[in-house]
Structure 1
Amino acid sequence: MSETKSNNKPTRRRQQAPIDTSYGHLQPQAPEIERVVLGALMIDKDAFTVVSEIIRPETFYENRHQKIYDAIQGLNLHEKPVDIVTVTEELRHNGALEDVGGPAYIVELSSHVASSAHIEYHAHILAQKFLARQLIQFASMIETDAFDETVDVDELMQKAEGNLFELSQKNMVQDYTQIDPIVAKAHQLLLQAANNKGGLTGVPSGFHKLDEITAGWQPSDLIIIAGRPAMGKTSFALSLAKNIAVDFRRPIALFSLEMNNVQLVNRLISNVCSVPGNKILSGQLSPDEWERFDTNIRKLDGAPVFVDDTPGLSIFELRTKARRLVREHDIKVLMIDYLQLMNANGTRFSNRQEEVSTISRSLKGLAKELDIPVIALSQLNRTVEQREGIEGKRPQLSDLRESGAIEQDADMVLFVHRPEYYHIYQDEKGNDLHGMAQIIIAKHRKGATGEVLLNFRGEYTRFANPEDVSAPFPTDEIGGEIMGSRMNLSTPESPHGSPLDGPLPEPSPDLTVPF
């Protein structure tokens, strides 16, 4: 009803309530900048090379701009000139010319742009707007599923982690670097290696012959330690951790997906204190063992070892935790036991092999990002069990379980092999293999491959340098012999072993413990 009075008095207008804009959000977008970028691409033949790694067709908000950029991308792919005429013809060929507004709109785009001087800056703005839209879509999906009571919250968490990780990986852009600072860094590392005894440039493993070949575990390297069950790969990893953290005091993080943190630390205690693992579990230690325990347990006080036993650890969780460990504790080595127990939840894979490939590729990316060595344990398939002879039982790169991508992504692949397990007691060189383990360097991207012989004491979950071995062990006072190599632990002066008071029992070659 009109509120105008018949006596021609001014009309009284009803006051409108202020518009609440707190709920009505526009998607992040910059249509004007999109037009500028497209126009610049059609007037400068070199502009596409500047923005090709920053933006993609889906980066554009307007659908017609996506189609135009797709046409420009196609022309560049086939090394054809890019201008008003060629873009128009490409759109006509794709059947999209009328969808974008016809030839007139293509002319309009280029007519308002004088140069491509700021195209890279503008491209970064579009990339940021696109990422913001992706995050909004991601958050909306999580919110919708979170309100759905039929959705399992734990599965939703895994899905969210996977999707967010995938999103970050897709939008991670690495820029190039001029060679001068890289040469300077290489020169500095060379000088450090020259001043270090033994030429170590990385984190020392504590095994002399191994360090001679590798020069230590190198930053940004992905190292795979593989072996069949009962070969001792976990024992080898724990010996490495003990040498790195206890002897050399370099911070290390252990992600154990197979054992809980107490089981893992019990094995570490067995290694350091020279007390059999089964006795630590039962608590039935002899007086000498109690003495060794009380003497050596203090070595673990303040040791920079950080243990995480999250089951079914995802790549996204690992990356988040690893970043925090490096930032807060200056972690020098990351160790995972073992790779096949990890998952890449939140991403769909047609088979397990694809998932393992994604995991190994992500581990290599993490090593590069954090600039530290990442050591991952891996299982081998059963092929080795079906082969005969001394050479047949030696593991090969093709034995890596579930994915050839592991071999491809790894900078170094080491196999833990104990011929004694297969009743092979002498190698082709005539070396006695009783109580010995072969560490086979099957792949080494930065150096030579080869083989290192170490002593193995399964009951102590310990590998040791053969040169640290001296007198044989007598029989255990409880009765009977215990399994292991004929080794004596190093004296307190040696940085590579655990000193102890008194001798240890003689090993038995017939008993094996699957560590």
Structure 2
Amino acid sequence: EMSMEQLYGRILMSLSNVSPENLRMHGLTETEIAVAKSLNETTLRELPIYIDYIPSARPEDIRAKVKLARKRKQCDFLILDYINQLDLGNAHGENLATSLGHAMKRIKDLAVEENIPALVIAQMNREIEKRNDNYKHKLSDLRDSGVLEQAADVVFFINRPELQGNGKGDDGESLVGIGNINILKNRNGATGTTRFRYNTHMTRISDY
């Protein structure tokens, strides 16, 4: 849903400690521009990140890109943002859930073939908003297809209590700027919940 330039700019702002709000509302000061330019020419240029924006991407497009990058030794980790945006090209008689399941299987097969981890981001069902315990995620909250949870080795959901009006935990601890990662499936390890800190102004997360 974001272009390569938008993602690039967000990463740059996060690294530079410059608030994206300043850029959108007031523009950058000369000092902030100098900091961003310096980071662009040093740190960001050295980061081993490749952003590939493919309009109406199909699983076959991603497969071809990854295969080529692997041959060039330029791909050790695949992040797909996000699977519900793929052009699934539904075959005759296939519903959305079936097509999404086939796409997920192709991405999983690609990760196994190339021996790389793949982080696949997916949407959640709207039904979760109707529950009083919407912060208690379930695997069935994944949108459109149960195949996603079946194929994945690890499934986790991100929750930020502050945004749901829960500013304090059960023990009275402030939850402002604190998020939870709820791990509901882990094929080779434990499940449970872990925390992280985030800064909404910088679009940045950090260790708890």
TM-score, normalization by structure 2: 0.91
Structure 2 match to 1:268: 11
Deviations 1:136-195 (A, max 9, x none): xxxxxxxxxxxxxxxxxxxxxxxxxxxxxxxxxxxxxxxxxxxxxxxxxxxxxxxxxxxx
Distance 1:459 1:411 in 2: 32
Counterpart-to-counterpart distance in 1, 2:31 and 2:194: 32
Question: Given residue 27 of structure 2, which amino acid in structure 1 is its aligned partner?
Answer: Q
Tell me if structure 1 keeps the 8 A contact 2:77–2:118. yes
User: Quick check: 1:279 aligned with 2:53?
Assistant: no
Separation in 2, partners of 1:290, 1:326? 35
Q: Which letter maps to 2:202?
A: Y
Alpha-carbon separation, structure 2, partners of 1:349 and 1:332: 36
The DSSP-based 3-state class of the residue aligned with 1:385 is helix
Aligned to 2:114: 370
Sequence identity percentage: 28
In structure 2, distance between residues paired with 1:395 and 1:291: 44
CA gap of 1:295–1:330, structure 2 versus 1, over 3 A, is closer
Q: Larger strand proportion, structure 1 or 2? A: 2
- 1:9-20 equivalences under 5 Å are none
Alignment of 1:100-111 (within 5 A): none
Q: Is the 8 A contact 1:349 1:355 kept in 2?
A: no
> Which residue of the partner structure matches residue 437 of structure 1?
179
Select between 428-437 and 397-406 the one with higher mean Cα deviation: 428-437
Distance verdict in 2 for CA 1:454–1:317, change over 3 Å: same
Post-superposition offset of 1:304: 1.7
Structure with greater Cα Rg: 1
Letter in 2 for 1:313: A
Which letter does structure 1 place at the counterpart of 2:4?
A: N
Contact 2:90 2:99 in 1 (8 A): no
- The number of equivalent residue pairs is 207
Q: In 2 relative to 1, CA 288–435 (structure 1 residues): closer, same or farther, beyond 3 Å?
A: farther
Within 5 A, what are the aligned runs for 1:213-252?
none
Indicate the SS of the match to 1:329. Answer: coil
Cα deviation, residue 451, structure 1: 1.4
Letter in structure 2 aligned against 1:306? Y
Q: In 2, Cα distance between the equivalents of 1:452 and 1:291?
A: 37
2:43 is aligned with 1:329: no
CA distance in 1, matches of 2:93, 2:21: 41
Instruction: Read off the aligned partner of 1:268 and give its amino acid letter.
Output: I
Aligned to 1:416, the other structure's residue is in SS state strand
CA distances 1:16-46 after superposition (whole Å, capped 9, x unpaired): xxxxxxxxxxxxxxxxxxxxxxxxxxxxxxx
Correspondence list, 1:299-310, <5 A: 299-310=43-54
Alignment pair present for 1:379 and 2:88: no
Do 1:343 and 1:359's aligned partners in 2 also have CA atoms closer than 8 Å?
no
> Which deviations, in whole Å up to 9, do the C-alpha atoms of 1:307-357 show, x marking residues without a partner?
111111101111011101111133110001101011232733421111111
Shift of 1:447: 0.1
Would you say 1:341 and 2:76 are equivalent positions? no
For residues 415 and 326 of structure 1, what CA distance do their matches in structure 2 show? 29
Instruction: Kindly indicate whether the alpha-carbon contact (under 8 Å) linking 2:159 and 2:181 is maintained by their aligned counterparts in 1.
Output: yes
The aligned counterpart of 1:289 is 32
Q: Look up the match of 1:464.
A: 206
CA distance in 2, matches of 1:430, 1:443: 29
Higher mean Cα deviation, 276-285 or 405-414? 276-285
Q: RMSD across aligned C-alpha pairs, in angstroms? A: 1.9
CA distance 1:296–1:373, change in 2 (3 Å): same
Helix, strand or coil for the counterpart of 1:437?
Answer: strand
Alignment CA distance shift 1:459-1:348 (3 Å): farther
Q: Which has the higher helix share?
A: 1
2:9 aligned with 1:259, yes or no? no
Tell me whether 1:311 sits opposite 2:63 in the alignment.
no
Q: Residues of 2 paired with 1:283 and 1:312: CA distance?
A: 34
Out of 77, 90, 100, the position equivalent to 1:356 is: 100
Distance in 2 separating the partners of 1:305 and 1:402? 30
Q: Are 2:190 and 1:448 equivalent residues in the alignment?
A: yes
2:72 is paired with a residue whose SS is: helix
Give 1:275's aligned amino acid: V
Q: Using CA pairs below 8 Å that are at least 6 residues apart, which structure has the higher relative contact order?
A: 2
Contact 1:271–1:461 at 8 Å: present in 2 too? yes
SS across alignment from 2:105: helix
Q: Deviations for 1:104-128, whole angstroms, at most 9, x for unmatched residues?
A: xxxxxxxxxxxxxxxxxxxxxxxxx
Residue 165 of structure 2 corresponds to 423
Read off the aligned partner of 2:12 and give its amino acid letter: I
Q: What CA distance in whole angstroms lies between the structure 2 residues aligned with 1:458 and 1:392?
A: 21
| Unaligned ranges ≥5, structure 1 | 1-257, 467-515
The change in CA–CA distance for 1:260 and 1:294 in structure 2 (over 3 A counts) is closer
Tell me by how many angstroms 1:287 deviates. 5.2
Summarize the alignment of residues 490-501 of structure 1 with structure 2, pairs less than 5 Å apart. none
